[in-house]
């Protein structure tokens, strides 16, 4: 039997409306997912995973958890494939629809929130809003009512997760960009792919580069606020704008920075020098989405404020060969968590534990054992 396959499992498609998004005329529901269980079983404990943009309905870890007797809901918000339109307050409500379905229709008694990859800070924000809402003023009255009734998860797992959306984008930004409208224009003194700068990178270059990344994020934010005001004054609600060169995390190039077992000079898109020239993460945004998801100044998608509110048992799992989440990221997430009962495990494996069946099994077994211990 293929351990990654679906033999002996049931996969139930779920489509539901959201308090702030109806079913579209073509028939699609804003909230969609697949519920994975052992064939014919009705688990009392289920895991739920969601991402800002990536379709998690067929999540790679779902069969592994289902075979341990857990339900697994790979859930999608209205923003699957629509990263450029993302707004956290509505995504949280969409996750709440999945949580409510697990409790009221699937008959689940305990829910484990799995924050995987970029979905880590999203699921962390959901749990925080279920504990103490902060997004109320961003929603219409029907959304405010739904926000106040969110189902709280019983356990929280950070699983090869980024700290937060603004943090990861800024860490990955190429600081040498000098003109956001020109993919070519480069400051050679800040160019991470200029051999005169490294690798290895000096402490002085690292400090200057990291400051340059934060400055780039702030420049875009300053422009976005001014441009939105200009547009709104003319009766235009928003606009799309492109963003270039966002695979410039110097940790991907220099393995001496934040050392781990990762492949050197590599990122999720391959060679960083090539990936950095290719449209990728954050490649298109509305202004409102930039301010909501990516801006260090204005985004509510940063991890620390949400994780600090957590009060349920929490587990942080990090693969030591991950080429986009690094040991220091996992340790920061662990430190941010307000939970008194928390644990961190750095284990062999890449971002999706895709390189080895044994590593994927080890990760699933570790998490499964922890869930059984806590529940």
pLDDT value at position 3?
Answer: 72
C-beta neighbour count of 297 within 10 angstroms: 12
Cβ partners under 8 Å of residue 19, min gap 6 = 93, 97, 142, 143, 145, 146
Using CA atoms, how far apart are residues 58 and 120, in angstroms rounded to an integer? Answer: 17
Cβ partners under 8 Å of residue 135, min gap 6 = 88, 89, 92, 129, 147, 300
Give the closest residue to 132 by CA, choosing from 145, 155, 150, 119: 150
How far is CA 84 from each of CA 9, 131, 290, 367, rounded to the nearest angstrom?
35, 28, 8, 33
Q: Which fold has domain 9-164+301-374?
A: Rossmann fold (3.40.50)
pLDDT value at position 1?
Answer: 60
Using CA atoms, how far apart are residues 301 and 69, in angstroms rounded to an integer? Answer: 32
In sequence order, what are the beta bridge partners of 316? Answer: 158, 344
pLDDT value at position 305?
Answer: 97
C-beta neighbour count of 366 within 10 angstroms: 14
pLDDT value at position 5?
Answer: 80
Let me know: does 175 contact 248? Beta carbons within 8 Å. yes
**Residue 95 Cα to chain centre, angstroms:** 13
Domain boundaries, the chain: 9-164+301-374, 167-294
Collapse the DSSP code of 28 into the 3-class scheme (helix H, G, I; strand E, B; otherwise coil) and give the result.
Answer: coil
pLDDT in tens, the chain (375 residues): 677 788 999 999 999 999 999 999 999 999 999 999 999 999 999 999 999 999 999 999 999 999 999 999 999 999 999 999 999 999 999 999 999 999 999 999 999 999 999 999 999 999 999 999 999 999 999 999 999 999 999 999 999 999 999 999 999 999 999 999 999 999 999 999 999 999 999 999 999 999 999 999 999 999 999 999 999 999 999 999 999 999 999 999 999 999 999 999 999 999 999 999 999 899 999 999 999 999 999 999 999 999 999 999 999 999 999 999 999 999 999 999 999 999 999 999 999 999 999 999 999 999 999 999 999
Phi/psi for 199 (5° steps) reads: -80, 165
Give the closest residue to 354 by CA, choosing from 363, 345, 346: 363
Q: What is the DSSP letter of 82?
A: -
Strand ranges for 118-216 from DSSP E: 155-159
Cβ partners under 8 Å of residue 198, min gap 6 = 192, 205, 250, 253, 254
What region does 289 belong to: left with phi over 0, alpha with psi -120 to 50, or beta? alpha
3-state SS, one letter per residue, for 230-276: HHHHCCCCCCEEECCCCCCCHHHHCCCCCCCCCCCCCECCECHHHHC
Question: Is the pTM value of this prediction over 0.95?
Answer: yes
pLDDT value at position 242?
Answer: 96
DSSP H or E run through 193: none
């Amino acid at each position: 039997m293929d351990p990654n396959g679906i033999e002996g499992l049931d996969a139930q498609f779920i489509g539901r409306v959201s308090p702030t998004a109806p079913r579209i005329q073509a028939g699609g529901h804003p909230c969609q997912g697949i519920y994975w269980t052992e064939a014919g079983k009705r688990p009392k404990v289920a895991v739920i995973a969601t991402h800002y943009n990536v379709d998690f309905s067929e999540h790679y870890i779902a069969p592994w958890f289902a075979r341990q007797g857990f339900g697994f809901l790979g859930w999608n918000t209205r923003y699957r494939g629509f990263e450029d339109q993302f707004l956290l307050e509505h995504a949280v409500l969409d996750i709440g629809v999945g949580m409510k379905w697990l409790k009221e229709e699937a008959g689940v008694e305990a829910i484990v929130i799995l924050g995987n990859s970029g979905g880590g800070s999203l699921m962390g924000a959901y749990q925080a809003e279920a504990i103490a809402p902060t997004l109320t003023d961003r929603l219409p009255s029907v959304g405010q009512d739904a926000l106040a009734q969110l189902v709280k998860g019983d356990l929280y797992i950070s699983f090869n997760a980024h700290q937060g959306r603004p943090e990861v984008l800024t860490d990955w930004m190429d600081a040498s960009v000098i003109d956001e409208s020109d993919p070519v224009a480069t400051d050679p003194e800040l160019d991470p792919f200029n051999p005169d700068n490294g690798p290895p990178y000096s402490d002085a270059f690292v400090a200057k580069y990291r400051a340059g990344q934060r400055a780039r994020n702030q420049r875009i934010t300053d422009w976005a606020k001014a441009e939105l005001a200009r547009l709104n004054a003319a009766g235009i609600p928003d606009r799309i704008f492109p963003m270039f060169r966002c695979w410039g995390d110097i940790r991907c190039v220099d393995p001496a920075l934040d050392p781990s077992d990762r492949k050197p000079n590599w990122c999720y898109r391959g060679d960083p020098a090539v990936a950095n020239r290719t449209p990728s993460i954050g490649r298109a945004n509305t202004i409102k989405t930039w301010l909501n998801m990516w801006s260090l100044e204005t985004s509510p998608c940063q991890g620390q404020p949400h994780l600090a509110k957590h009060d349920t048992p929490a587990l942080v799992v990090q693969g030591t060969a991950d080429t986009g989440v690094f040991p220091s990221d996992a340790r920061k997430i662990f430190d941010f968590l307000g939970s008194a009962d928390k644990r961190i495990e750095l284990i062999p494996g890449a971002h999706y534990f895709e390189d080895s069946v044994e590593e994927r099994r080890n990760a699933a077994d570790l998490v499964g054992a922890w869930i059984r211990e806590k529940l």
